Structure formats: structure tokens, C-alpha cells
Amino acid sequence: MLNADQTAQWQREGFVVLPGFKPAEQVAAACRRAAEIISAFQPAADTGTFSTRDRSRVADAALLASAEAVHCFFEEDAFDAQGRLAVPKERSINKIGHALHDLDPFFDGFSHGPALAALAQALGLRQPQVWQSQLIFKQPHIGGEVGWHQDGSFFLTTPQTVTTFWFALEDATLDNGCLWVQPGGQTSPLREQYVCDRTPGQAPRLRMQALDSTPWPSARTAMPLPVPAGSLVVFGGLLPHYSGPNHSPRSRLAYTLHATCASAAYSPLNWLQRSAALPVRGFD
Ligand code: FE2
């Protein structure tokens, strides 16, 4: 699945880019399916009318419910003061998640199969468990920056095993917000952990907890990964990465999967937990 150069890059730099991993017709079908999901999604009429505090509680509840659902998340400024969409719905979506790979027949097919199973094996991911799928939008002109972070913060396992599969569904360029990574940064410690406090009788609380004071990399050590549609970028949970804003007139749609290894202990503090109704599966 990986040639010698790609294996060496994975070990040395903590990421690998696989151009043409998905054929053009599958990529086009994924974009069409994303548009269909948005078109069918009805935002709650009162989404924009909560106070800031209530809104964050509603947002937390929506995030937690999306562990076993397909939910559209809007850009922060998508609603006006009356709770009406201020921009067309298809231009106001920030992401769709987080169980597309199990609940949406198209993305189930896109997220499973021999090629991904063999790749996971080649990366050393034994008994993979695919926890999350996301369609991540960077809307033309308004798509914002996502700052430096490590995906291990959101999927803590002991030992660290989470691996990100980032599929470009549209060309990702320097102008429209491609990924940037710190080559070699996969040896740095996990800096923070996104924790869900679940106290019986209380609404769950989400918070970011600092773990290690190692600074984020400087811009000088960041490497951009512009890739054409159909490419797959894979990186481990400790690799610091970010993506810039989209100042261009072209959207930048990506699809991501996050998988851990079943033999590593999955933290009960991770926000994303699965019930027996929707058990976590591998790539087969
Ligand atoms: Fe990330």
C-alpha cells in the first residue's frame, strides 16, 4: 500500500500524502452527496435566538448527539439576531458529522473497503476502530482558519494511536485553506486534551485541558500540503497541524476519518462515545 519512500516519510515526518487515492467519479459523488445532505437538513428555527451561554450549552448537546447521528454545523455568524439564516444554507455550513461513515450509505461505502483496510495495516494501525467522520467546509471568502492543534487531543488512547485520514474532495491550495503540518512534530508531546465531564444528573460539560506546555510550532517550521482533489493525507494524532483561512472564491471541501487501535485504551473522557446501538467498526 505504501512504497519505500512513503513508509520512510511516515516514520520520519509523521505524515504521508497519497495523490489519486480516490477516483474522480467517487470524489464528484461525495461532493454531490454532501450537497444533498445540506439540502435536506432543516436548521432548528430557534438556533440563533439563545443567549451566548445557552447557545454554548445547545452547541455542546448538538455535538454530543452527533456522535451517533449526521448533523450539519453552521458557521458562527450564519444566523441573524432573529435566528434566521443570514446567508444561503449551502454557503453557511461549517461541517457535517460525525457518524456519516456508519449511517449514510454513500459515505459508508466511501469510508470502508480493502484499500483503506490495507493502508491502515501498512501504517501499523492494528484492529482499527473508526470513530468519526466529518465533511469539513471552507466556504469561499469566509472560511476561517483552524489553528495549530493535535487530533490526539480529541481521541485520547493509551498509548496514542489515533490516525487521521484527510481526503481532499476539492483541490486544496495555498489560497483556499490547505493543511499545514510540522514535519517531524509527531514526536512532540500531547499539549491538550478535550475532556467531556459526565456527572450523573447534570448536562455533560466540554472543556480543553492543558497537558504540556511545549509551545506550538513557529510558522517557519510549518509546511503547506496543497493537494489536488482525490488525494488522501494521513497523519498521526501527535502531529501539529493547522489550516489557513479561505480568501479565495473557491470552496475547499475535505472529508476526514479518525481511527484508533482497538488494543489501546480509549479514554472514557473523550467526547465521542458510542452506545451498543451503534458500535464502532473497522475499515472492512
Ligand atoms: Fe485536525
H or E stretch covering 11: helix 4-13
pLDDT tens digits along 170-219: 999 999 999 999 999 999 999 999 999 999 999 899 999 999 999 999 98
34 CB burial (10 A radius; 0-12, 13-18, 19+): buried
**pLDDT tops 50 at residue 49:** no
CA distance 107 to 133: 9
**Quick one: cell of 155?**
481521541
CA of residue 236 to ligand 1 center, whole Å: 10
CA distance 244 to 227: 14
| Residue 123: count of CB within 10 angstroms of its CB | 21
| Residue 214: count of CB within 10 angstroms of its CB | 12
CA of residue 44 to ligand 1 center, whole Å: 27
pLDDT of residue 53: 60
CA of residue 242 to ligand 1 center, whole Å: 7
Q: What mean pLDDT, rounded, does the chain reach?
A: 93
Please, what are the domains in the chain?
4-263 (2.60.120.620)
pLDDT tens digits along 112-140: 999 999 999 999 999 999 999 999 999 99
CA of residue 284 to ligand 1 center, whole Å: 24
Q: Could you give the percent of the chain with pLDDT greater than 70?
A: 96
pLDDT of residue 51: 55
First to last CA, the chain: 16
CA of residue 97 to ligand 1 center, whole Å: 14
Phi, psi of 76 (to 5 degrees): -55, -40
CA distance 217 to 238: 12
CA of residue 198 to ligand 1 center, whole Å: 24
CA of residue 240 to ligand 1 center, whole Å: 8
CA distance 160 to 190: 9
Query: What is the pTM (predicted TM-score) of this model?
Result: 0.95
CA of residue 151 to ligand 1 center, whole Å: 5
CA distance 103 to 99: 6
As separate numbers, helices (DSSP H) first and strands (DSSP E) second, the chain gives 6, 15
